[in-house]
């Protein structure tokens, strides 16, 4: 586990000092974010372009469907405001289909010189592959996240772009990021687009931790068409959550079978003008296929004004009921149903973040959060993870 307090000044646009062994896909660049359509209710359908780099020392498979040996690409959008950090939107996954083996990553620190592989079917070490925002919004290449095992990168080829049975029918525009213009137009907020690549050979090589990259953009300026006005370069190899100013970031890596997965919890407190403190939490599932079903703050008693926030999972078979908050004798816990009671409960699935909040009159100290996994695990897998977070002090402190 690792802990750190974030500060914007510590983030750099570089990457690793040297390439990792095996294939290692990362997001080298995010650009071109823009509005592609307006839904009937006025919400904006938005996506962005992504340019990948193979930061490893071996070629990365890039076969087109129906072959499953290719990356899938997802995009998320986030907002930081008034001490809160929350997810606004999420896309379906775009299925990669042709590796161009360009040299766009030549200036990225830690990326070797491009050695082209079998152009179209593989991405060579150091080489890049660009998907513009138009391709990343093309419905024919998009499939639901629920089809993907993020821990292993595996999925069934014949139905990868089809919703699971029981999924609600959605418009093609809803398969990309959907946000209302007013939410994007707050001058007091910060906004981020995040991209993630998942693929089987990268996961098998143990190189999945660095597959997420984010970039900050300015609030919508109110023009007729939304275009992302980026405020700086990409922060490579990190999720957007790490940009939360003043937050305590607590990361946990664990095994699910043979696969390594990463879950991150973050916390921040805000002193309230009327007295007391607002405790804000986020829980991010980078690539756990088992998912998460509860978030418990030990020692949190006598709290008030508890809340829960999540982006809508569009076109997925999962339920969307908010996690219920419960005050117990010695802790406060948010939870959804266990897998054994409901295999379509609103668990925190991969590539998504849930946010939580409550008010306490007690000053913050470093405490403990306990997170419970959702799906059953293999023998030897842990069913809980422990994180360091800000929590209300006890009467004895």
- 324-357 per-position pLDDT tens digit: 999 999 999 999 999 999 999 999 999 999 999 9
Q: Among residues 116, 92, 122, which one has the least CA distance to residue 103?
A: 116
Q: Among residues 201, 154, 232, 259, which one has the least CA distance to residue 54?
A: 201
- Please state, rounded to an integer, the average pLDDT across all residues of the chain: 93
22-61: per-residue pLDDT in tens? 999 999 999 999 999 999 999 999 999 999 999 999 999 9
252-269: per-residue pLDDT in tens? 999 998 999 999 999 999
What tokens does 32 get?
Answer: 């071109």
Cβ(73)–Cβ(49) below 8 Å: no
Residue 381's pLDDT is 85
Q: Among residues 291, 371, 367, which one has the least CA distance to residue 330?
A: 367
Q: Among residues 259, 234, 301, which one has the least CA distance to residue 48?
A: 234
Q: In the predicted model, is pLDDT for residue 240 greater than 70?
A: yes
Higher per-residue pLDDT: 3 or 67:
67
pTM of the model: 0.94
What Å distances lie between residue 359 and 171, 244, 274, 324, 347, CA to CA? Answer: 39, 19, 11, 16, 24
Cβ(127)–Cβ(106) below 8 Å: no
Angle at 132 between CA 130 and CA 136, to 5 degrees: 105
- Binned at pLDDT 50, 70 and 90, residue 18 comes out as low
Q: What is the mean pLDDT of residues 79-94?
A: 97
Residue 369's pLDDT is 98
CATH class entry, domain 248-397: mainly beta
- Binned at pLDDT 50, 70 and 90, residue 161 comes out as very high
Q: In the predicted model, is pLDDT for residue 15 greater than 50?
A: no
CA atoms of 42 and 182, how far apart (whole Å): 10
Residue 380's pLDDT is 80
Q: In the predicted model, is pLDDT for residue 241 greater than 60?
A: yes
**Domain spans in the chain, listed from the N-terminal domain onward:** 8-246, 248-397
173-228: per-residue pLDDT in tens? 999 999 999 999 999 999 999 999 999 999 999 999 999 999 999 999 999 999 99
């Amino acid at each position: 586990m690792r802990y750190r307090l974030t500060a914007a000044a510590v983030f750099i646009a570089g990457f690793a000092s040297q390439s990792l062994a095996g294939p290692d896909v990362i997001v080298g660049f995010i650009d071109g974010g823009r509005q592609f359509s307006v839904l009937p209710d006025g919400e904006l359908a938005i996506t962005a372009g992504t340019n990948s780099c193979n930061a490893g020392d071996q070629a990365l498979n890039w076969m087109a469907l129906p072959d499953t040996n290719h990356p899938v690409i997802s995009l998320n959008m986030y907002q930081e405001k008034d001490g809160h950090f929350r997810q606004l939107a999420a896309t379906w996954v775009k299925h990669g289909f042709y590796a161009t083996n360009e040299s766009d990553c030549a200036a990225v620190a830690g990326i070797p010189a491009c050695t082209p592989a079998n152009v179209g079917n593989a991405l060579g070490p150091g080489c890049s592959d660009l998907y513009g925002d138009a391709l990343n919004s093309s419905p024919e290449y998009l499939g639901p996240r629920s089809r993907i095992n993020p821990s292993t990168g595996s999925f069934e080829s014949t139905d990868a772009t089809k919703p699971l049975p029981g999924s609600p029918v959605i418009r093609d525009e809803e398969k990309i990021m959907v946000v209302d213009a007013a939410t994007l137009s707050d001058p007091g907020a910060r906004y981020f687009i995040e991209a993630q690549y998942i693929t089987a050979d990268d996961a098998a090589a143990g190189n999945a931790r660095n597959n997420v990259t984010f970039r900050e953009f300015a609030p919508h300026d109110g023009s007729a068409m939304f275009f992302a006005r980026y405020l700086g370069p990409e922060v490579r190899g990190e999720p957007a959550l790490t940009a939360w100013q003043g937050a305590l970031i607590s990361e946990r890596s664990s095994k699910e079978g043979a696969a390594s997965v990463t879950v991150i919890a973050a916390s921040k407190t805000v002193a309230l003008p009327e007295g007391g403190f607002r405790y804000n939490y986020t829980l991010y599932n980078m690539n756990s296929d088992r998912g998460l079903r509860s978030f418990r703050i030990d020692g949190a008693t006598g709290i008030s004004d508890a809340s829960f926030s999540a982006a809508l999972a569009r076109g997925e078979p999962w339920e969307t009921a908010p996690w219920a908050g419960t005050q117990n004798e010695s802790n406060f816990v948010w939870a959804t149903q266990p897998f054994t009671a409901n295999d379509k409960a609103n668990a925190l699935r991969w590539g998504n973040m849930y946010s939580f909040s409550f008010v306490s009159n007690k000053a913050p100290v470093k405490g403990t959060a306990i997170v419970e996994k959702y799906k059953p695990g293999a023998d030897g897998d842990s069913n809980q993870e422990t994180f360091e977070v800000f929590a209300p002090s006890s009467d004895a402190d």
